[in-house]
Amino acid sequence: MENKLKSMGLAAREAARSLALAGRKEKDRALREMASSIRSRRDSIVEANGLDLEEGRKAGLSEPLLERLTLDDGRIESMAAGLEQIAVLPDPIGSGLGSYINEDGLEISRVRVPLGVIGMIYESRPNVTADAAGLCLKSGNAVILRGGKEAHHSNRAIAEAIGKALGNVGFPAGAVQLLDDPGREATQALMALDSLDVLIPRGGKGLKAAVKQHAKVPVIMTGMGLCHLYVDSSADVNMAVRIAVNAKAQRPSVCNSIETLLVHSDVASRFLPPLVKAMEEAGVELRGDDRVRKVVSMNPAVDDDWDTEYLALILSIKMVDSLDQAMDHIHLHGSGHSEAIVTRDYGNSRRFLDGVDAAAVYVNASTRFTDGAVFGLGAEMGISTQKLHARGPMGVEQLTTVKFRVSGSGQIRS
């Protein structure tokens, strides 16, 4: 395994050198070729996906998981169209971040360059294979992809379509490689692969823990979200109910949905009854602390609830007596993803925006908006919940680093 990965790493390093020098036209042509190759192999991709679904059913995967795994004609068309959309994005490579002439007469400019070789580990939908390949190629990076084992037939078929396209336009095969080995050892070896400039794991708690234990290369962790909505004493109750239901129930399986609602005691008796009604209509199970359950009856929340990313139609509710108590709770239990307040108070809105440490902080809006497209970054590699390098949605710009270019005329340092 390690030898196989080592040679994949070397191929990626070599490919990265030529990708870094590839112009926008070449890269965009490659992206469009990838799209058309995926379209023309639609039948074989659907067939491969059928094998995954069959194995998944045998292995007893849940219906929602099988649904996520499924590729039909529509989803394959979206995958292809997504690559064409990446082709339309501006090329981040070479763009300048300021330049000046220093006192020695050196012309110094700071420009964006690719990271180099990216390792991407993901568990979920097979379309990530195409999205990640496209974003990495657009930003001039080589990538080694390692998808979930439930999707390995589908991922292989998609990677083959991409490889064929790269060959057609004269790009090196090392530009996009799929680590096609379902074993845990393969994942661990990838986490320690010297030739990676960065590892981007996209997944939940289990993957995060494995990364913490095994990663020997720089990491950008994505995909974890324990988000809160705080309903302030001055909140517009109708707005608060509407936002809470949207943030919890519109798509509970994603990282920008909320898991815990914090409500100020002054507004609890007005807010909780309509909230409970709306949540019940949306099919949400509620778990409250003792004070909440004195206002309306629901299941009790236990300590673990405050630290659980349900990714399901479950919401825990806690009563607080001040904005500070709400911010303390978020500080202790939040994952630094998305946090929201509903308030009519100007000062409290500012204190929340300033005082809460997360990738995205909201006043009077649903946390569900944390997304690369909404935030103007185009498609996204994932949503980073760490602070280093990239925070929040990661687009092509977040897959770059910088280089200082210095032009002189013989200057030496004195």
Residues that bind its own copies (CB under 8 A): 17, 20-21, 100, 102, 104, 106, 108, 113, 115-116, 197-198, 212, 216, 218-220, 236, 239, 242-243, 246-247, 250, 331, 349, 353-355, 357-366, 368-370, 374-376, 386-389, 391-392, 401-414
Query: What gap in Å lies between CA 411 and CA 414, rounded to an integer?
Result: 9
* 269: CB partners within 8 A, 6+ apart: 295
CB of 180 to its own copies, least distance (A): 27
Query: Which lies closer to its own copies via its Cβ, residue 54 or residue 104?
Result: 104
CB of 399 to its own copies, least distance (A): 11
CB of 361 to its own copies, least distance (A): 6
Query: Which lies closer to its own copies via its Cβ, residue 43 or residue 328?
Result: 328
Alpha carbon distances (Å) from 162 to 172, 345, 350: 11, 52, 47
Pairing between β-strand 314-320 and β-strand 258-264 as defined by DSSP bridges: parallel
Query: Which lies closer to its own copies via its Cβ, residue 24 or residue 242?
Result: 242
CB of 302 to its own copies, least distance (A): 23
Q: Detail the DSSP E strand segments found in 160-265.
A: 176-178, 198-202, 227-231, 258-264
What are the tokens at 136? 């990495």
Query: What gap in Å lies between CA 183 and CA 189, rounded to an integer?
Result: 10
Query: Which lies closer to its own copies via its Cβ, residue 179 or residue 220?
Result: 220
Strand partners, 57: none
Q: What is the DSSP letter of 90?
A: P
Query: What gap in Å lies between CA 354 and CA 348, rounded to an integer?
Result: 10
CB of 54 to its own copies, least distance (A): 35
Query: Which lies closer to its own copies via its Cβ, residue 33 or residue 197?
Result: 197
Q: What is the DSSP letter of 359?
A: S
Query: Which lies closer to its own copies via its Cβ, residue 129 or residue 400?
Result: 400
CB of 86 to its own copies, least distance (A): 20
Number of CB atoms found within 10 A of residue 321's CB: 12
Query: What gap in Å lies between CA 266 and CA 343, rounded to an integer?
Result: 13
Q: What is the DSSP letter of 116?
A: -
Number of CB atoms found within 10 A of residue 97's CB: 10
CB of 351 to its own copies, least distance (A): 9
Query: Which lies closer to its own copies via its Cβ, residue 53 or residue 199?
Result: 199
Query: What gap in Å lies between CA 117 and CA 140, rounded to an integer?
Result: 9
What are the tokens at 257? 């949905």
Under a CB-based contact definition with an 8 Å cutoff, are residues 399 and 89 in contact? no
Is the dihedral angle over the CA atoms 28, 34, 37, 39 positive or is it negative? negative
CB of 116 to its own copies, least distance (A): 6
Number of CB atoms found within 10 A of residue 8's CB: 22
Query: Which lies closer to its own copies via its Cβ, residue 62 or residue 409?
Result: 409
Under a CB-based contact definition with an 8 Å cutoff, are residues 140 and 116 in contact? no
Query: Which lies closer to its own copies via its Cβ, residue 163 or residue 378?
Result: 378
Query: What gap in Å lies between CA 121 and CA 139, rounded to an integer?
Result: 18
Query: Which lies closer to its own copies via its Cβ, residue 137 or residue 220?
Result: 220
CB of 300 to its own copies, least distance (A): 29
CB of 155 to its own copies, least distance (A): 26
Collapse the DSSP code of 141 into the 3-class scheme (helix H, G, I; strand E, B; otherwise coil) and give the result: coil
